[in-house]
Structure 1
Amino acid sequence: MNIEPERPTAKNPPEQFAGDVWVDVIAAPRTDDQRMSVAVVKFAPGARTAWHSHARGQYLRVTRGVARFGTRDGEIIDVHPGQTLYTPPGQDHWHAAAGDTFMEHIAMLESGDDPATTTVWKEHITDAEYNGTAAR
């Protein structure tokens, strides 16, 4: 057993995120047979991801603020602290901080068989997609 070394907080790249988003990695695969990755991701007000999907799906546990999640069919869900959202493998989606508050979530996912397909990044979401009517 060992205590994992601390990693510096990283700012996520503008090719994949709009606005200010930071990530703190909690766990990442150490050997070829491990797949789990866990990170705390912090979004400034209105910050958002680009469209993307995950080869093996993703769990997101909201810990602060209100998160907004959208899918290609126009569904938008607002998720509150203590709630966990699951996106199935291959589902295009985005996540963002809703409103004028910071949002934080814990992201949990497994690597794909080909690590390059773990997360497939696509185009940025539009303001109209972000501002849709949230499902309750």
Structure 2
Amino acid sequence: MEIQPKTPSVKGPAEMFTGDVYFDVIAAPQPEPSRMRVNSVHFAPCARTAWHSHAVGQTLHVTEGVGLVQARGGEILVMKAGDTVYTPAGEWHWHGAAPDHFMTHLAMWEAPAEGPESAWGDLVTDEEYGNK
């Protein structure tokens, strides 16, 4: 057993996020065989991820606030504190805070045995987000 001290919060890079987003790493690469990853991600109103997908899927659990999530080609869905959202492997999607709320979620995913964990695409435009 090992206690891992908290690391400093990290600002989400501009090529992966729009707006003010910070994350705290909860579970980073662990010794094999674990491939679990968990971040607590904090979004200011209107802040969001770029389009992205995960090789082994992703689970989001909203801990505070109100957020939005969308799979490519799908509707924008509202997620609230207590909601859990599962995105299957390879599905392109984005998620972030609603226009008038902060939102925090736990982002949980596994790294594949080989290859990249995630693929990142274009930033979500204001039109895609719904700010016209």
TM > 0.5 fold call: yes
Contact conserved, 2:67 with 2:101, CA < 8 A, in 1? no
Cα distance between partner residues in 2 of 1:89 and 1:128: 26
Q: Which runs of 4+ in 1 moved over 4 A?
A: none
- Tell me how far apart the structure 1 counterparts of residues 73 and 91 of structure 2 sit (CA, whole Å): 11
Q: Structure 1 stretches of 5 or more lacking a match?
A: none
Residues 1:91 and 2:98 are matched in the alignment = no
Give, as a single letter, the amino acid of the residue that structure 2 aligns with 1:65: G
TM-score scaled by structure 2? 0.94
Match of 1:20 in 2: 20
Separation of aligned partners in 2, 1:80 and 1:88: 20
- Report deviation, 1:84: 0.1
For residues 1-136 of structure 1, what are the structure 2 equivalents within 5 Å?
1-115=1-115, 117-131=116-130
| Secondary structure at the counterpart of residue 65 of structure 1 | strand
Q: How many angstroms does 1:113 deviate by?
A: 2.6
1:78 Cα deviation (Å)? Answer: 0.5
Cα distance between partner residues in 2 of 1:99 and 1:42: 14
Q: Residue 79 and residue 89 in structure 1: after superposition, are their counterparts in 2 closer, same or farther (change >3 A)?
A: same
Q: Secondary structure at the match of 1:66?
A: strand
Q: Alignment length, in residue pairs?
A: 131
* Pairwise CA distance, 1:33: 2.2
Give the C-alpha shift of residue 121 in structure 1: 0.4
Q: How far, CA to CA, are the matches of 1:57 and 1:81 in structure 2?
A: 21
- Check the 8 A contact 1:54/1:118 in 2, yes or no: yes
Deviation at residue 2 of structure 1 after TM alignment: 2.2
1:42-64 Cα distance to aligned partner (Å, 9 max, x none): 00110011000000000000011
Question: Aligned-residue CA RMSD in angstroms?
Answer: 1.3
Asked if the contact 2:57/2:89 (under 8 Å) is kept, the reply is yes
Q: What is the DSSP-based 3-state SS (H/G/I as helix, E as strand, rest coil) of the residue aligned with 2:127?
A: helix
